[in-house]
Homo-oligomer: A and B are copies of this chain.
Amino acid sequence: MIVVMKSDATDEQVAHMIRRVRDMGLEPHIIEGTGRTVIACVGDERLKAPEGLAVGAGVEKVMPVRARYTIASREVKREPTVIELGRGSLGGSALGIIAGPCAVEGREMLLETAHAVKEAGAVALRGGAFKPRTDPYSFQGLGQEGLGYLAEAREATGLAVVAEVMAPEQVPVVARYADVLQVGARNMQNFVLLSAVGACNKPVLLKRGMSASLEEFLLAAEYILSRDNERVILCERGIRTFETFTRNTFAVAAVPALKAATHLPVIADPSHATGRADLVEAVSRAAVAAGADGLIIEVHPDPETALVDGQQSITPEAFAHLVESCRAVAEAVGRSL
């Protein structure tokens, strides 16, 4: 941590801050710059609450030096974490694709979709049984009935099942049916939920919050990891910006930046990132080219009539085309699919 004093800070103010830093158990190094004094603080600042120093008299700003996540960091674990997923895995040299409808709308549409995406090359089936909906009057999912259909589709196809969990009390029931628990973007900083899935013995697919910085994203993963659940999959799904031609802005640079910062697998969700079916394939290829370990794609047998997110769902035929074109790109970057 670096404490930068104002240019007109008094000696007394500098001395006061030095004492404060010592009180926190850190070792201050004083550097007299041209025009202002800087106090470099040595020691592990992460368990302290140094923000308050910013209001000290004569202080201009306080700048942290280190990232606050640890277990998620490549500094701690160099080799990539590989997470098994159905017939495949995420984080190794082969990519894995998760696909399925935004919401489980019924038994037949789910089984039809599951067979189609398996055939096209998916390793896992997504499908929401409990749906987080912005509008309280819209379809909220089939609940446990939907989970049952997902389990049935797994039996029928061999695909792993990914299902969202929206609250701590849903963790046991979703964990009973699903292979991977998904924490949605709106819950990325629902810390009670993160602790609950951290205490569960299932892989967690953690979506980036729509205004989360990469550090906040990794700290959310750290919540789960620090509860001794080592299987966290990070998912870039677009951030909220001034852009309106897409639903969110897919921050493709987050993929290599995350891969450099952490050993966890990183996948992409082009469906939510764009909110436009016609852009999903191009953005999927971009994610693969940038180094993503996998994709999660919304597929629906009849997107026009989908109860949720039809505008960003693609047909099974379009999905099969997407897999083929992503496979070519994966091979071009030395991966397989």
Binding site for B on A (CB under 8 A): 2, 4, 7-8, 20, 29, 31-36, 38, 40, 42-44, 46-47, 49, 51-56, 62-63, 65-66, 68, 75, 132-139, 166-170, 186-187, 189-193, 210-211, 213-216, 219, 222-223, 226, 239-246, 249-257, 260, 273-274, 276-279, 282-283, 285-291, 303-311, 313, 325, 328-329, 331-333
Contacts and interface: CB of A to CB of B under 8 A. Distances in A.
Contact of A166 (B29, B192, B226, B332): B192
A317 to B, nearest CB: 13
Contacts of A214: 243, 245
Nearest to A17: B304
Contacts of A34: 42-44
Contact of A253 (B8, B193, B257, B279): B279
Given A31-B42, A166-B192, A246-B251, 5 more contacts: A20-B304, A63-B63, A190-B193, A214-B245, A252-B252
Majority secondary structure of chain A interface residues (helix, strand, loop or mixed): mixed
Contacts of A187: 189-190
Nearest to A186: B189
B282 A244 contact: no
A47 B310 CA distance: 15
A80 to B, nearest CB: 16
B244 A249 contact: no
Contacts of A65: 2, 4, 33, 36, 38
A260 B278 contact: yes
Contacts of A329: 289, 329, 332-333
A258 B290 CA distance: 20
Contact of A241 (B40, B241, B303): B241
